[in-house]
Amino acid sequence: MSIATGTASANSIKEALNNKTVHHFIGGQFESSASGDTFDDINPATGEVIAQISSGGVTEIDMAVSAAKEAFDRGPWPRMSLRERCDILRKIGDLILQYKEVLAHAETRDTGKPLSESLEGDIPRAAQNFQFFADYAQAITEECFTVSDNERHIAVREPLGVAALITPWNLPLYLSSWKIAPCLAMGNTCVLKPAEWTPFTAYLLGFIAKEAGLPPGVLNVVHGFGAHSAGEALTRHPDVSCISFTGETTTGKAIMSAAAQTLKKVSFELGGKGATIIFDDADLKEAIPTAVRAAYRNQGQICLAGSRLFVQEGVYKQVVEEVVAAVKQIRVGDPLDRNTQMGSIISLEQLEKVQEYIQHGKKEGKLLTGGDRVKELPNGYFLQPTVFSDLSFDSRCCQEEIFGPVLPIIPFKTEQQVIDMTNSTAYGLSASIWSSNVDTCHRVSQKIRTGILWVNCWFARDLRTPFGGQKSSGIGREGGRYALDFFSELKTISYKYKA
Ligand code: ADP
């Protein structure tokens, strides 16, 4: 096995951005795969190969889990005070901000998302995830049940051990940090398996972890694929105590079944088919641009996207006209250009999947704008933002998660009708309601089956709140104390004192 160098300094992170091999990070060392196998890391905006990714499998997962277990069983991490652990996590957050430019370039190069979004959205949020949990974990309380002066029962939190963190490609560092920070704050160690399409910021995080003084083996990163590869090996490993996963619903089912063999605790954040609901009395000046942002941000590749737009019949015509006009103004282009609003789709595979939905949409409804690849950018996987009308709420485009820049607009007459249509999908992650009548907002928000419901806004987030979905959108909640609960085991210790 070859070992790459990993001295952490501002220079080395900058240099690592140009490295042509993405290594695993195991026990504090950067490692190639034992087999020497690699696969291409492709920039979806240009089709160019950025680097070779070390392709991990059972061997690398075994090494990483054993490094994490050693760090948990014998290393300093779970034995440090909470304050000391949180100081290191805060330092990681600070370093992410310090290296924001490098990380944002890496993220944009891997994902094809606009650089402005990486710089202003993804990377600062990744830093905030570490900083938030560094503070919040120290504020968490434990319970004491007093029976009498000489009998007390206390419920204490203990770490679980080695956690498996499996993350998707749409918000790579943002979602990895959302899991790593609470996991480590509670004293666990972990193995992160980032998405095969977007390994680079997870690789760079290894340099940051070293520079922040994170002990070896506390954070391990193994690259590779999902099924029959590193991902699956991690979910089956007997020394892994819990799995926190974000990705597709079908993958969640496969992971749950693999995890059942060793009864691991699971937390799943899965797909979504978010609805934006505009009532006749909504403030359209706010609702329309927000509905457009909700549909096309990150090329529509967000589980929280408002990927169905329901509009009450009184304003339907006006909303359709204004949405189409706004969508035609979206600047699709080179992600590195600061004026670009929409970049490329993550991969050719995903582009073809979205195009298949567009074909269904064309057959079953009316294409109002978009629908094609961007001809001026033939090397990248760019798609025009697309709007459909005349699609039935139960058509495939309105029921299935497309995860691309495609928005069907569907009219409705009554409150009950839109509630039924919104609830008709298998998913239940998020919805956003627009009305100036507080009673309407209140009534409708009670009846929509989602984990997150926005009233006259979209994507408003407070990291203390529970985040997750109902139905096929997930199991459990992330965020705030819900994440800290997941990454800890409760133990009751009962005391009897001599009077
Ligand atoms: P996405 O389409 O967002 O990539 P996936 O669910 O396919 O969603 O992938 C999310 C993450 O899950 C990736 O890191 C991927 O490699 C991993 N993964 C996919 N299949 C499996 C599996 N069977 N077991 C474990 N991990 C998997």
Tens of pLDDT, residue by residue over 403-424, are 999 999 999 999 999 999 999 9
Q: What is the pLDDT of residues 36-58, one digit of tens each?
A: 999 999 999 999 999 999 999 99
Residue nearest to atom 27 of ligand 1 (CA): 226
Instruction: Compute, in angstroms, the gap from residue 231 CA to the centroid of ligand 1.
Output: 7
Which one from 303, 397, 398, 441 is the annotated catalytic residue? 303
Ligand 1: distance of its center to the CA of 78 in Å?
29
Q: Which residues line ligand 1 (CB under 6 A)?
A: 166-169, 193, 195-196, 225-227, 231-232, 235, 247-248, 251, 254-255
Name which residue sits closest to atom 24 of ligand 1, judged by CA.
232
CA of 343 to the centre of ligand 1 (A): 22
Q: Look at the block and give the residue holding tokens 């995860």.
A: 403
| 465: its two tokens | 């709140």
What pLDDT does 499 receive? 73
d(CA 276, CA 290): 9
Decide: 185 and 84 in contact? Cβ < 8 Å. no
Q: Give the mutation target among 242, 243, 251 for probing the ligand 1 site: most ligand atoms within 8 A of CB.
A: 251
Kindly tell me the number of DSSP H helices and DSSP E strands found in the chain: 17, 24
- Res 6: pLDDT: 41
40: β partners: 52
The 488-496 sheet, strands edge to edge: 143-148, 151-159, 488-496
- Quote the CA–CA distance of 441 and 432 in Å, as a whole number: 10
Average pLDDT over residues 463-484: 98
pLDDT in tens, 223-271: 999 999 999 999 999 999 999 999 999 999 999 999 999 999 999 999 9
Q: How far apart are CA 112 and CA 97, in angstroms?
A: 21
The residue whose CA has the least distance to atom 23 of ligand 1 is 227
The pLDDT score that the predictor gives to residue 292 is 98
Ligand 1: centre distance to CA 65 (Å): 19
Q: pTM (2 decimals)?
A: 0.97
**Mean pLDDT, rounded, of the chain:** 96
CATH number of 275-463: 3.40.309.10
CATH number for the domain formed by residue range(s) 13-270+473-492: 3.40.605.10
408 closest CA partner among 301, 345, 320: 320
**Catalytic residue (choose from 31, 60, 196, 269):** 269
pLDDT tens-digit series, residues 138-171: 999 999 999 999 999 999 999 999 999 999 999 9
- Whose C-alpha lies nearest to ligand 1, atom 21? 226
Q: Note if 144 is an active site residue.
A: no
- Closest approach atom of ligand 1 to CA 168: 10
Residue of minimum CA distance from atom 20 in ligand 1: 226
Ligand 1 atom with least separation from CA of 166? 14
Q: Does residue 33 surpass a pLDDT of 80? A: yes
Ligand 1 pocket, mutate which of 39, 58, 166 (most atoms under 8 A from CB): 166
Cα–Cα distance measured from residue 266 to residue 263, given in angstroms and rounded to the nearest whole number: 9
Share of the chain above pLDDT 70, in %: 98
Q: Residue 11's pLDDT is what?
A: 54
Task: Give the model's confidence band at 10: pLDDT under 50 very low, under 70 low, under 90 confident, else very high.
Answer: very low
Strand partners, 152: 146, 495
The domain spans of the chain are: 13-270+473-492, 275-463
Tell me, in angstroms, the distance from the centre of ligand 1 to residue 346's CA.
14
Residue whose CA is at the smallest distance from ligand 1 atom 16: 226
Task: Tell me the CA distances in angstroms from 311 to 231, 251, 284, 345, 394, one per residue in order.
Answer: 41, 33, 11, 27, 16
CA of 41 to the centre of ligand 1 (A): 16
How many CB atoms are located within 10 Å of the residue 488 CB?
Answer: 24
The sign one gets for the Cα dihedral 407, 411, 414, 416 is negative
With 80 as the cut, is the pLDDT of residue 7 above it? no
Please report which confidence band the pLDDT of residue 12 belongs to, taking 50, 70 and 90 as the band edges: confident
Q: Please state the rounded mean pLDDT for residues 372-401.
A: 97
CA of 278 to the centre of ligand 1 (A): 34
Residue 477 has pLDDT above 60, yes or no: yes
Determine the average pLDDT of the residues in 67-79.
98
d(CA 171, CA 124): 12
Q: Are 26 and 220 in contact (CB under 8 A)?
A: yes
Distance of CA 425 to the CA centre of its chain: 21
Q: Which atom of ligand 1 is nearest to the CA of 228?
A: 23
Predicted local distance difference test score (pLDDT) of residue 14: 87
Q: Which of 159, 184, 161 is nearest to 69 (CA)?
A: 161
Q: Is the pLDDT of residue 1 over 50?
A: no
Instruction: State pLDDT tens for residues 87-115.
Output: 999 999 999 999 999 999 999 999 999 99
Q: Which tens digit of pLDDT belongs to each residue from 313-333? A: 999 999 999 999 999 999 999
CA-closest residue to ligand 1 atom 15 = 226
Q: Look up 352 and say whether it is catalytic.
A: no
Q: How far is CA 233 from the centre of its chain?
A: 21
pLDDT (tens digit per residue) in 284-300: 999 999 999 999 999 99
